[in-house]
Amino acid sequence: GVLYQSLFKENVNAFIAEFDISTGNVRLPAHSVNELREQPYSPQWSSDGLSLFYGTDFRTLVIRPETSGVERRVSFGRELSYPWWLVPSPDGRSVAVTAYDKDLNYGVFLIDPSDGASRKVIDIPKAGMVQPSPNWSPDGKAIYYKCRDREAADFFVVMRRNLETGTERQIYRGTLNPQELVLSPDGTRFAFFHRDPGAGKP
């Protein structure tokens, strides 16, 4: 009859710090995004570096221009559950996010920062589900994402989906699982995290 539960013993926050690209040094201490008023997730800069986007309480998108520091908060209601990996489009008119819809179907959705309206653009199969790590193409016309191969679950693929036509093109297929994909600003390279199962090291 004893109930066991896990508790967070530390606050989780996002921070901004100055970075010297010539030396690689980070100037500390960094300052928190919102002074721990609430737990932020997926902080992302806009493509012009002038606004910070992040989510909070899993229902709210926060947009904060660095010039004024005045936050704009947009609720995307209860249509989406467990949103993660917020990525603003190059023009700032959409935010891609991975989430579940009300029927618990998983995929990539676009959120309109003006009113919080959302629509699904990519379906991710539940079998062997992985974080798709969506990234916008530099022109904002396509989204790159990762999933398992629909025919062979041991293989991973990176796809490019044209949002105007719905057509897809395979960029990569293999047993390597590229985690937390981040596309370079010129759209020519991906940086990613990988853990070697054999060595047990990242």
The confidence score (pLDDT) of residue 160 equals: 96
- pLDDT in single tens digits along all 202 residues of the chain: 999 988 766 667 888 899 999 999 999 888 888 765 677 888 999 988 899 999 887 788 899 898 888 888 988 867 788 888 899 999 989 999 998 888 888 999 999 998 888 899 999 877 677 889 999 999 999 999 999 988 888 899 999 999 999 999 999 999 888 888 999 989 999 999 887 767 667 7
The confidence score (pLDDT) of residue 35 equals: 65
Are the C-beta atoms of residues 148 and 128 closer than 8 Å to each other?
yes
The tokens 């530390």 sit on which residue?
10
User: What gap in Å lies between CA 201 and CA 195, rounded to an integer?
Assistant: 6
101 phi, psi to nearest 5 deg: -90, -175
The confidence score (pLDDT) of residue 13 equals: 81
Per-residue pLDDT tens for 12-24?
788 889 999 999 9
70 phi, psi to nearest 5 deg: -85, 115
One-character DSSP codes across 92-132: SS-EEEEEE-TT--EEEEEE-TTT--EEEEEE--STT----
The confidence score (pLDDT) of residue 125 equals: 78
Q: Is this prediction's pTM over 0.85?
A: no
The confidence score (pLDDT) of residue 162 equals: 96
Structure tokens at 183: 């596309």
